């Protein structure tokens, strides 16, 4: 069957589609001959019998790959038109222009076969409903998909082969630049950039936390270099936590060449759409890792130590110790483990003094109740571990004291060095702006005015940098004299005084413990009233100690006096059920640690001879109701009534914190809620302008009775209205 016989009048009555596509924007820009050949298919459609006004060009997918239908709106629209039997023929330069994968290709073939749609390319016209034509189209689609695979494999093989030699040039982080030779990586020639990167590693060695390094940069007011792909010059901006963390986690700064640290994956989301994501791989799965590839800011051993320290700062997994140091006086947070089940112990604090303690998350069933596997106070345990730590640290006490005395000077010198480099950079920028201004012709005022403004801005920045450097030089900490150094060294012998000094915080003590200790295993023997500690030091050395536990409380159990007194006050106003709810909301428990119930409250009340609640025979003026009932009576929302309770506009009664609010409904209170504001009453915004005070001051004066106020609860302009007419005489009175 010839091409002219395949084209029937039914086909000519439909639209002819010319599909135009190039894989990348580079091909669209530079390979214009292929694009022109695809647009020329319009003439072929006209030669086959279609009028020019019935030929539609689909070029929405220019610059998109044909490997998937995702984001190819033109192909999707064409497929929809084919399914509606509105297309007579689809013309493409070759099959690869239409699709590069068989899933999309065979779907189009099936639709064309069912709707009697032709497909044409540079070789001829095909009817997908005919076996021979469909066989040829199928072979062409398979070859197109195979061609894409071969091209990708060839390019990917070359990239991986070059990366295996460490010569593949990819984007380098700030502080490193490519050299002229293959695979050569050099430190940035700008001394200010390298100084900022070195400061990150030096401060991390001191602080041990990426966040504290970031806070140090912010507290010192230092900028951090930013190197973007599209910006040729280094930009100095305020440091971010992500920038500091990226410097600490990048292996390139350790002199290593790494490739294949991530993997691109495809998955189907909850809506059935195919998505792509990038997954970070562990170091063992990296494609290429060449150590000592170039000069770095740190060595590989320091890099691995930094990664271990950063991993310990995150929340540990179950049955693992460590974790970031947090606030609280429990010194073994993240280090203590249970000697019975091996779980990591959790910390808790009790009482008004926040006494620390440790407990195990595992529970055992004892007499039908869940009991912690281990629950012990932390005072004696922390003291025993502290004594062992100080005893082990005594030989290095003098060196530690000397390092502490010099640390303040070192921190100041590091920040001062960065500010000196910032001043030098500002001076260079000012000189360059001056040279650019003097190089322009004076008559060209359009350019000269802009360069003059830039020069003035650089001069202001230079002046600010000089003033800041001068201020920081005057704040330089005093250098220790020989006598003061001798005194500090003598003080270093007494580590106990340093440990207990008010300036040594709990966070500092935890950091010190982690420098030597890896784990503290606690085993409690209740019958012997002792705890056995196993201290595992870094390096594998074990130390064992026994700690005597305090005796248990007396057998006589008694409810707290505060709870008894509170029950005595509440019993005059509420029944036992309400009292139990109030006590539970305040976190109170019985003498045995149980939650209060109506029966337990009744037993406590009868034991201490507290009378039960009785409804009074004569009620005072006004009905006493709760917030929900009062809101219904006043025809307002409960949230509004709560707000007026907090602002003092409505008076409420509450026996104790946690007890329900009660409001006495009187005629005076009802008169405060009206449908229309009386004459002379203005809105809150107008009242603040008339009185010349803030909103809080107006509310306080309403609460004190100095101003009259009503609440309009109907209409579009609902809200508070203030009477300021009587207060106009006091506008200029300083006491008002």
Which residues are known to be catalytic?
23
Neighbours of 569 (CB within 10 A): 14
Q: How far apart are CA 98 and CA 23, in angstroms?
A: 11
Token pair of 244 as six digits? 């500091």
Among 258, 25, 269, 230, CA closest to 164: 258
Interior angle at CA 140, CA 138 and CA 145, nearest 5: 95
Helical (H) or strand (E) element with 3: helix 3-6
Token pair of 254 as six digits? 């350790």
Q: CA dist 712 to 106, 635, 644, 694, 715, Å?
A: 70, 11, 13, 21, 8
Q: How far apart are CA 522 and CA 512, in angstroms?
A: 20
What are the E-state strand segments in 208-297?
224-226, 235-237, 257-259, 262-268, 274-280, 288-290
Q: How far apart are CA 28 and CA 257, in angstroms?
A: 35
Q: Are 22 and 62 in contact (CB under 8 A)?
A: yes
Q: CA dist 406 to 401, 477, 485, Å?
A: 9, 10, 10
Q: Please report where in the chains the tokens 């920040």 appear, as a residue.
A: 415
Q: How far apart are CA 616 and CA 597, in angstroms?
A: 25
* Side-chain half-sphere CA neighbours of 490 within 13 A: 6
Q: How far apart are CA 76 and CA 139, in angstroms?
A: 23
Token pair of 256 as six digits? 């290593």
* Side-chain half-sphere CA neighbours of 390 within 13 A: 16
Phi and psi at residue 347, to the nearest 5°: -105, 150
Q: How far apart are CA 358 and CA 340, in angstroms?
A: 14
Provide CB contacts within 8 A for 685, sequence distance 6+: none
Q: Are 650 and 644 in contact (CB under 8 A)?
A: yes
* Side-chain half-sphere CA neighbours of 214 within 13 A: 14
- 3-state class (DSSP) for residue 664: strand
Count of helices and strands (H, E) across the chain: 27, 28
What 8-state DSSP symbol labels residue 251? G
Burial 607-620 (b: 16+ CB within 10 A, else e): eeebeebeeeeeee
Q: How far apart are CA 358 and CA 525, in angstroms?
A: 15
Q: How far apart are CA 125 and CA 107, in angstroms?
A: 19
Q: What is the 3-state secondary structure (H, E, C) of 377-399?
A: ECHHHHHHHHHHHHHHHHHHHHH
- 3-state class (DSSP) for residue 207: helix
Q: Please report where in the chains the tokens 């050099």 appear, as a residue.
A: 186
Among 661, 562, 575, CA closest to 611: 575
Q: How far apart are CA 481 and CA 702, in angstroms?
A: 64
Q: Please report where in the chains the tokens 């209060």 appear, as a residue.
A: 596
Provide CB contacts within 8 A for 404, sequence distance 6+: none
Looking only at the bridges linking them, the beta strands covering 55-58 and 87-91 are unpaired
């Amino acid at each position: 069957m010839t091409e002219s016989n395949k084209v029937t009048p039914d086909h000519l009555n439909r639209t002819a589609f010319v599909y135009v596509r190039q894989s990348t924007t580079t091909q669209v820009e530079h390979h214009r001959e292929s694009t022109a050949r695809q647009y020329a298919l319009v003439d072929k459609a006209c030669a086959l019998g279609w009028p020019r006004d019935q030929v539609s060009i689909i070029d929405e997918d220019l610059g998109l790959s044909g490997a998937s239908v995702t984001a190819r709106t033109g192909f999707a629209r064409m497929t929809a038109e084919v399914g509606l039997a509105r297309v007579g023929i689809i013309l493409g330069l070759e099959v690869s222009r239409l699709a590069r994968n068989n899933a999309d290709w065979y779907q189009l073939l099936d639709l064309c076969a069912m709707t009697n749609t032709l497909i044409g390319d540079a070789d001829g016209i095909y009817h997908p409903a005919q076996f021979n034509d469909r066989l040829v189209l199928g072979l062409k689609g398979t070859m197109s998909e195979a061609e894409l695979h071969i091209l990708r494999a060839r390019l990917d093989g070359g990239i991986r082969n070059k990366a295996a030699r460490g010569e593949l040039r990819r984007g380098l982080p700030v502080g490193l630049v490519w050299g002229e030779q293959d695979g050569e990586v050099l430190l940035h020639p700008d001394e200010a950039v390298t100084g900022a990167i070195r400061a990150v590693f030096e401060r991390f060695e001191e602080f041990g936390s990426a966040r504290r390094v970031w806070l140090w940069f912010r507290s010192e007011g230092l900028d951090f270099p930013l190197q973007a792909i599209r910006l040729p010059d280094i930009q100095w901006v305020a440091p971010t936590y992500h920038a500091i963390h990226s410097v600490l986690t990048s292996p390139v700064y350790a002199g290593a060449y790494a490739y294949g640290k991530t993997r691109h994956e495809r998955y189907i989301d909850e809506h059935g759409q195919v998505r792509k994501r990038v997954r970070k791989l562990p170091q063992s799965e990296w494609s290429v890792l060449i150590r000592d590839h170039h000069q770095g800011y740190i060595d590989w051993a320091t890099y691995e130590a930094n990664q271990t320290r950063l991993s310990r700062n995150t929340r540990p997994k179950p049955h693992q110790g460590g974790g970031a140091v947090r606030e609280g006086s429990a010194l073994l947070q993240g280090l203590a483990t249970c000697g019975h089940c091996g779980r990591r112990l959790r910390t808790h604090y009790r009482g008004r003094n926040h006494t620390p303690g440790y407990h195990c998350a595992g529970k055992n069933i004892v007499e039908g109740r869940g009991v912690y596997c281990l629950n012990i106070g932390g005072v004696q345990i922390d003291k025993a571990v502290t004594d062992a730590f100080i005893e082990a640290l005594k030989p290095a006490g003098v060196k530690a004291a000397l390092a502490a005395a010099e640390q303040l000077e070192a921190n100041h010198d590091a920040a001062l060095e960065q500010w000196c480099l910032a001043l030098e950079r500002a001076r260079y920028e000012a000189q360059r702006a001056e040279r650019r201004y003097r190089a322009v012709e004076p008559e060209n005022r359009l350019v000269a005015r802009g360069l003059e403004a830039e020069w003035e801005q650089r001069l202001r920045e230079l002046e600010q940098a000089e003033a800041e450097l001068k201020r920081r030089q005057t704040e330089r900490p005093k250098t220790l004299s020989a006598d003061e150094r001798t005194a500090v060294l003598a003080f270093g012998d007494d580590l106990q005084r340093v440990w207990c000094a008010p300036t040594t915080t709990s966070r500092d003590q935890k950091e010190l413990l982690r420098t030597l200790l890896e784990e503290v295993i606690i085993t409690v023997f209740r019958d012997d009233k002792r705890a056995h500690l196993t201290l595992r030091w870094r390096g594998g050395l074990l130390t064992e100690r026994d700690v005597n536990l305090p005796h248990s409380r007396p057998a006589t159990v008694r409810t707290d006096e505060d709870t008894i007194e509170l029950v005595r006050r509440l019993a005059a106003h509420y029944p036992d059920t309400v009292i139990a709810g109030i006590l539970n909301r305040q976190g109170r428990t019985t003498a045995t640690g149980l939650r209060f119930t109506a029966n337990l409250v009744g037993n406590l009340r009868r034991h201490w001879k507290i009378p039960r609640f009785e409804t009074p025979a004569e009620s005072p003026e006004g009905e006493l109701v709760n917030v929900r009932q009062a809101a219904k009576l006043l025809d307002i929302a409960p949230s509004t009534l709560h707000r007026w309770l907090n602002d003092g506009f409505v008076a409420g009664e509450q026996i104790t914190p946690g007890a329900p609010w009660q409001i006495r409904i009187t005629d005076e209170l009802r008169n405060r809620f009206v449908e229309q504001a009386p004459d002379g009453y203005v809105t809150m915004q107008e009242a603040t302008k008339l009185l010349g005070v803030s909103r809080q001051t107006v509310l306080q004066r309403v609460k004190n009775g100095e101003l009259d106020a009503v609440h309009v609860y109907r209409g579009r302009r609902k809200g508070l209205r203030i009477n300021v007419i009587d207060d106009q005489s006091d506008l200029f009175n300083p006491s008002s």
